[in-house]
Amino acid sequence: MIEIKFLGRGGQGAVTAANLIVQASFKEGKFGLAYPSFGAERRGAILNAYARIDQIPINVHQQIYEPDVVVVLDKKILQMTNIVEGLKPGGSVIINTNRIPEDLNFDGKLFIVDATRICLDLNLVISGWPVVNTAILGALSKATNIVNINTLVKTIEENWKGEIGKKNSQACLRAYEETYEVVLKNLVRG
């Protein structure tokens, strides 16, 4: 089973991202669960969303405490919480940022994508906020291959029709192409 923790801020689409990755996994014959966890429901507040994906039915319905993958939709979250807390050894972290975090050390893989820039370029903005969820899913596909990028694009286009669907699928594809792995130095080993 692959367990994914999405860290985002209200309005960025973390909950939708968790739902979309599970929908895409269904298309590939896998099983999945997605659910949110948040306090005060307001735009900009930090929230977590979770997804589990497996080849067999999933009977676990609790919060994920030790994710295999952490997906950070907003680089400001790096200053607000320990994003790698509980991350399984060898796990992956995917961050929406335009520069490599200097003080992030963990035993795993780090992937970077500037999803915000991609969404601004495509005018995927609601009330002044870039909605980065579909772009970050492209990065997740590139980093983990948990679902195929073409399956994600199809899922996105089924959820949003017309021009908005096209922009969201373009964001996903661009992020897939632009995501890169950062070699971590000075890893903390237990």
At a CB cut-off of 8 Å and minimum separation 6, what does 83 contact? 7, 70, 72, 77, 93, 95, 104
Which range of residues forms the domain containing residue 174? 2-182
pLDDT of residue 139: 98
Residue 91 lies in a domain: yes
Residue 187 lies in a domain: no
Residue 171 lies in a domain: yes
Residue 189 lies in a domain: no
Task: Write the pLDDT tens digit of every residue in 22-67.
Answer: 999 999 999 999 988 765 555 667 889 999 999 999 998 888 999 9
Residue 190 lies in a domain: no
pTM tops 0.85, yes or no: yes
Find the CATH number of the domain harbouring 7: 3.40.920.10
Task: Write the pLDDT tens digit of every residue in 126-156.
Answer: 888 898 999 999 999 999 999 999 999 999 9
Residue 77 lies in a domain: yes
Task: Write the pLDDT tens digit of every residue in 83-118.
Answer: 999 999 999 999 999 998 888 889 899 999 999 999
With beta carbons less than 8 A apart as the criterion, state whether 20 and 13 touch: no
Count Cβ atoms below 10 Å from residue 119 Cβ, excluding itself.
Answer: 27
Alpha-carbon gap, residue 182 to 45, rounded angstroms: 28
The chain-wide mean pLDDT, for the chain, equals 91
Task: Please identify which residue in the block is written with the tokens 């073409």.
Answer: 150
Q: How many domains does the chain have?
A: 1
